[in-house]
Amino acid sequence: MHGRIFTPFRVGGFIIVPEEHPVPADSGLPLVMGKKGAFGSGEHETTASCLEKLERLPGLTGARVLDLGSGTGILAVAAVRLGAASAVAVDIEPAAALSCAANVRLNAMEGRIHTVCGELAAVGGGEFDLLLANIYADIHLALADEMVRRVRPGGTLILSGIPLQDKFDVQRRFERLGCTLADLQILEDYTTFVMRKG
């Protein structure tokens, strides 16, 4: 995005709306995004895929969510819009954390989404019902143990940002850690996995 203007557009049942633009009536669940965003306004195929998988996920009401590599925070905002009780959005990039915090305010979700600038280790204790990670394949592989440890048994991981050539490595890594593949979407250049922790 980086400061350019965009017009409202739909992804599944969501409508992504730029700040200062009126939210179209009866057009879907609104996700209001600031103009000065980091990556992740919803246009990229991996973000759109995560939003679609999130929307179809049963049992999200009251869930605790962790959004790893949150960028603009669009996935955390979407999860709360769908009924999650709370979300922690963590990103190592200060610009992304600032953008996320601004979008939390634009969506009136202060107190429900906590923005953290730092690594996964900077997130406090406790287990999550759902982990969202739209990040590079090498980060999935490096953080897999800690990611799985953060999810409660029976919980869900939505993993994306994985180039097609890396999908088997990432799938195998998480399966070795006790996860099973619940759903898979092959995109043009990337893969999205929905994994369940055993």
Find the domain containing 44 and state its range.
40-197
Does residue 20 lie in a domain region? no
Does residue 92 lie in a domain region? yes
Does residue 14 lie in a domain region? no
Does residue 148 lie in a domain region? yes
Rounded distance between C-alpha atoms, residue 176 and residue 54, angstroms: 24
Does residue 15 lie in a domain region? no
Written as tens digits, the pLDDT of the chain (198 aa) is: 444 557 889 999 999 999 988 888 878 999 999 976 545 567 789 999 999 999 999 999 999 999 999 999 999 999 999 999 999 999 999 999 999 999 999 999 999 999 999 999 999 889 999 999 999 999 999 999 999 999 999 999 999 999 999 999 999 999 999 999 999 999 999 999 999 999
What is the side-by-side order of every strand in the sheet holding 29-33? Answer: 9-11, 14-18, 29-33
Report the residue count for the chain: 198
Burial class (CB in 10 A: 0-12, 13-18, 19+), 21: middle
Does residue 24 lie in a domain region? no
